[in-house]
C-alpha cells in the first residue's frame, strides 16, 4: 500500500507523512500554475486536475488507489466546501429573481432529464431499467464548481447567470437522494420503493434541509455578530464552520445536508456580517483546495486502461443529455416564467457537468451495484468529453445568441478596510466593444449622488478621470458608491451602455 493509502491506517509513519506532503504540495503548486492555462483555453480547471490524478495513478507514477468508499466520503466533504464557497460568494440581489425558475429546474427539470436519459440508455445501450435510471440520475446534475468557475468570467445578464448559479447550488440535493435510492434498488436484495414513496421522501428531505440551512445560517450569523472577536481570520473560521454544521445537522436529522449547506452559506453571505471580504476569501480558498483534492482523487480512482471501453456509450448518453434531455427539461421548467427562447437555448447548452456526477458514480461502487465499474467509467468519460465540448464554447454561444452584455460589472473586494462600516461598495465596470458608453464623458453618466468614477484603466495604465474625461471601448472603470445607491448606479450605467448618453431623458 502506498503512502497515500496508508494515511487512512494506524501504521502511517513519519516517512509516509513526508512523502504525502511532498506529493501533495507539488500537486497544489502545479494546480495553481494550471489556472492560467485554464483561463486561456476556456476549459474548466477540473480537467487539468483530473489529468494530474490520472498521471499520478497506476498508468503514470504508479500510485495504486482503488478505494471507492474513501473517495465517496472525501468527495462528499469536498462538495460541502464547494457548495459553501458558492453560497458565501453569491449575491442574493443577483439571483433573487431567478430563484423560482432555478428551483423548478433543479427539481422538475432533474426528473425530466433523468427520464429521458434513462429511456435512451434502456433502448440504445440495452441496460436494465434500474441501471438506466441510475445513470440518468447521476448525469443529470449540473456541477456547482464548473458553473461558478466558468460563468463568472462570461458577461451574462444577471437573470441568466443567477439562474445557472442557483440551479447548480440547488440541484445536488435532489440528485443525491435519487442516486442513493436507485443504487440501493439495483443492489441484490435491495428494497424497491414505489415512485410516490420516493417522491414523498425527497420532498421531506428537501424541505427539512431548507429549514435547517436557513435557520442555522441566520441564527449562527446573529450569534457570530454578537460574540465573535475582531479577528477577521477567526470570524472566517466561524462562518465556514457554520456551513459545515448545517450539513452535519441536516444529515443527522436525515434531511438534505447539501441543500442545508448551500442555503446556510447563502444566508451568511448576504446578511451584512462584518469581515465579509475575509470570510468570502477564506471560503473561496477552501473551495479551491476542495476542488483540487477532489478532482485529483477522482483521477486517481479512474483506470485509464479501462476508460476507452465506455467511450461510445459515454458519447451516446452525453449527446442525448445535451441535445434532448437538457433542452426539454429547460423548456418544461421555464415556460411558466416566460423565459425568452434565447435564454432557454443558453441554459440548455450551459448545463455543465463536473465533480458531482463522478462523485455520485462512486455510490453504486460502494453499495455493490452490479456493473458499477462500467457506470463509473461511463460517467467519467462523459464528463471529460462534454466539458471539452461545452465549456470553451460558452462565450461564443452567448455572443451568437445576443446575450453578452457590453458593460459588465463585478464586485471588488478590498481587504484594507471594512467597506461595511462606512456603507460603501466598489464596482469594476468593463466597457465592451459595442457599448454606447464609448464617447460619453464622465459627467454625462449622471450617476446618483453618492457614486463616482474614481479610476479609469486604459491600455494598462490607470488615471483619475476629470468630469469631461471621455470613456472609450476597452476601458475598465472603478466606481465607488454608497450601498444605498449601488443598484441605481449599476442600472444607470447599463442604461447608457444600451441607449447612449441620452438614455433616461424624458
pLDDT tops 60 at residue 132: yes
Mean pLDDT, range 465-478, rounded to an integer: 91
The total number of residues shown for the chain amounts to 506
Secondary structure of 271-288 in HEC code, one letter for each residue: CCCCCHHHHHHHHHHHHH
Q: Which among 80-94, 147-161, 206-220, 300-314 has the top mean pLDDT?
A: 206-220
C-alpha distances in Å from residue 144, one per residue of 141, 151, 291, 300, 493: 9, 10, 11, 22, 30
Q: On the CB side of 177, how many CA atoms lie within 13 Å of its CA?
A: 29
What pLDDT, in 10s, does the model give residues 255-287?
999 999 999 999 999 988 887 778 888 998 998
Helix H or strand E segment including 456: strand 451-458
pLDDT tops 70 at residue 84: yes
Question: Domain 67-400: which topology?
Answer: Na+/H+ antiporter like fold (1.20.1530)
Which of 6-10, 383-387, 478-482 bottoms out in mean pLDDT, i.e. has the lowest?
Answer: 6-10
State residue 427's pLDDT score. 84
Architecture per CATH, domain 407-499, reads as 2-Layer Sandwich (3.30)
Secondary structure of 163-214 in HEC code, one letter for each residue: HHHHHHHHCHHHHHHHHHHHHHHHCCCCCCCCHHHHHHHHHHHHHHHHHHHH
Which of 35-44, 315-324, 408-417 bottoms out in mean pLDDT, i.e. has the lowest?
Answer: 408-417
State residue 3's pLDDT score. 47
Environment class of 239 (CB within 10 Å of its CB; exposed 0-12, middle 13-18, buried 19+): buried
Instruction: Give Rg (Cα) of the chain.
Output: 24
Helix H or strand E segment including 455: strand 451-458
pLDDT tops 80 at residue 170: yes
Q: On the CB side of 197, how many CA atoms lie within 13 Å of its CA?
A: 6
Helices (H), 42-194: 45-56, 68-88, 92-95, 99-105, 108-124, 129-139, 144-151, 158-170, 172-186
pLDDT tops 50 at residue 253: yes
Which of 106-115, 146-155, 173-182 bottoms out in mean pLDDT, i.e. has the lowest?
Answer: 146-155
Specify which residues 428 forms β-bridges with. Answer: 410, 478
d(Cα 244, Cα 235) in Å, to the nearest integer?
15
pLDDT tops 90 at residue 420: no
C-alpha distances in Å from residue 402, one per residue of 337, 343, 433: 20, 10, 14
Sheet holding 461-463, edge to edge: 407-411, 424-431, 476-482, 451-458, 461-463
Q: 479 CB contacts (<8 Å, ≥6 apart)?
A: 409, 426, 427, 428, 429, 447, 451, 452, 453, 454, 489, 493
Give the global pTM: 0.79
pLDDT band for position 202 (cuts 50, 70, 90): confident
pLDDT band for position 113 (cuts 50, 70, 90): very high
Taking the domains of the chain in order of start, what are their residue ranges?
A: 67-400, 407-499
C-alpha cell at 146: 464548473
State residue 294's pLDDT score. 87
E strands in 374-450 = 407-411, 424-431
Place of cell 465533480: 355
pLDDT band for position 191 (cuts 50, 70, 90): low
pLDDT band for position 416 (cuts 50, 70, 90): very low
Which of 259-273, 322-336, 387-401 bottoms out in mean pLDDT, i.e. has the lowest?
Answer: 387-401
d(Cα 298, Cα 68) in Å, to the nearest integer?
9
Name the residue with higher pLDDT: 230 or 30. 30
Average pLDDT score over the chain: 84
Q: 438 CB contacts (<8 Å, ≥6 apart)?
A: 431, 471, 472, 473
What pLDDT, in 10s, does the model give residues 56-78?
887 677 777 778 888 889 989 99
Amino acid at each position: 500500500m502506498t503512502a497515500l493509502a496508508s494515511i487512512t491506517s494506524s501504521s502511517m509513519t513519519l516517512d509516509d507523512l513526508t512523502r504525502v506532503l511532498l506529493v501533495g504540495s507539488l500537486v497544489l503548486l502545479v494546480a495553481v500554475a494550471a489556472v492560467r492555462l485554464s483561463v486561456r483555453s476556456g476549459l474548466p480547471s477540473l480537467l487539468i486536475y483530473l489529468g494530474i490524478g490520472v498521471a499520478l495513478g497506476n498508468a503514470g507514477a504508479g500510485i495504486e488507489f482503488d478505494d471507492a468508499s474513501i473517495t465517496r466520503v472525501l468527495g462528499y466533504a469536498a462538495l460541502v466546501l464547494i457548495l459553501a464557497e458558492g453560497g458565501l460568494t453569491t449575491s442574493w440581489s443577483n439571483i433573487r429573481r431567478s430563484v423560482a425558475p432555478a428551483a423548478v429546474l433543479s427539481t422538475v427539470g432533474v426528473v425530466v432529464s433523468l427520464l429521458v436519459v434513462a429511456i435512451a440508455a434502456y433502448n440504445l445501450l440495452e441496460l436494465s431499467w434500474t441501471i438506466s435510471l441510475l445513470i440518468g440520475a447521476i448525469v443529470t446534475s449540473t456541477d456547482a464548481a464548473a458553473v461558478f468557475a466558468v460563468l463568472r468570467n462570461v458577461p451574462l445578464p444577471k437573470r441568466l447567470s443567477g439562474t445557472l448559479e442557483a440551479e447548480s447550488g440547488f440541484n445536488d440535493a435532489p440528485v443525491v437522494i435519487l442516486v442513493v435510492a436507485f443504487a440501493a434498488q439495483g443492489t441484490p436484495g435491495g428494497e424497491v420503493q414505489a415512485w410516490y414513496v420516493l417522491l414523498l421522501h425527497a420532498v421531506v428531505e428537501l424541505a427539512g434541509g431548507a429549514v435547517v440551512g436557513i435557520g442555522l445560517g441566520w441564527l449562527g450569523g446573529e450569534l457570530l455578530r454578537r460574540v465573535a472577536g475582531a479577528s477577521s481570520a477567526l470570524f472566517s473560521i466561524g462562518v465556514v464552520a457554520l456551513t459545515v454544521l448545517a450539513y452535519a445537522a441536516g444529515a443527522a436529522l436525515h434531511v438534505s445536508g447539501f441543500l442545508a449547506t448551500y442555503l446556510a452559506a447563502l444566508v451568511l453571505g448576504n446578511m451584512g456580517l462584518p469581515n465579509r471580504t475575509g470570510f468570502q476569501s477564506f471560503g473561496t480558498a477552501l473551495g479551491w483546495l476542495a476542488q483540487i483534492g477532489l478532482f485529483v482523487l477522482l483521477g486517481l480512482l479512474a483506470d485509464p486502461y479501462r476508460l476507452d471501453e465506455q467511450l461510445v456509450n459515454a458519447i451516446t448518453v452525453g449527446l442525448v443529455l445535451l441535445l434532448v434531455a437538457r433542452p426539454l427539461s429547460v423548456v418544461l421548467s421555464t415556460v411558466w416564467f416566460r423565459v425568452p427562447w434565447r435564454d432557454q437555448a443558453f441554459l440548455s447548452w450551459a448545463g455543465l457537468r463536473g465533480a458531482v456526477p463522478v462523485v455520485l458514480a462512486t455510490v453504486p461502487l460502494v453499495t455493490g451495484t452490479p456493473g458499477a465499474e462500467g457506470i463509473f467509467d461511463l460517467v467519467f468519460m462523459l464528463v471529460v468529453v462534454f466539458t471539452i465540448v461545452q465549456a470553451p464554447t460558452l462565450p461564443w454561444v452567448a455572443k451568437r445568441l445576443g446575450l453578452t452584455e457590453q458593460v459588465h460589472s463585478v464586485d471588488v473586494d478590498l481587504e484594507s478596510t471594512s467597506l461595511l462600516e462606512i456603507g460603501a461598495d466598489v464596482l469594476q465596470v468593463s466597457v465592451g466593444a459595442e457599448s454606447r458608453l464609448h464617447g460619453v464623458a464622465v459627467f454625462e453618466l449622471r450617476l446618483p449622488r453618492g457614486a463616482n468614477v474614481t479610476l479609469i484603466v486604459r491600455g494598462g495604465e490607470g488615471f483619475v478621470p476629470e468630469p469631461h474625461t471621455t470613456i472609450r471601448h476597452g476601458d475598465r472603470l472603478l466606481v465607488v458608491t454608497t450601498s444605498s445607491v449601488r443598484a441605481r448606479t449599476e442600472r444607470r450605467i447599463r442604461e447608457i451602455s444600451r441607449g447612449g448618453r441620452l438614455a433616461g431623458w424624458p
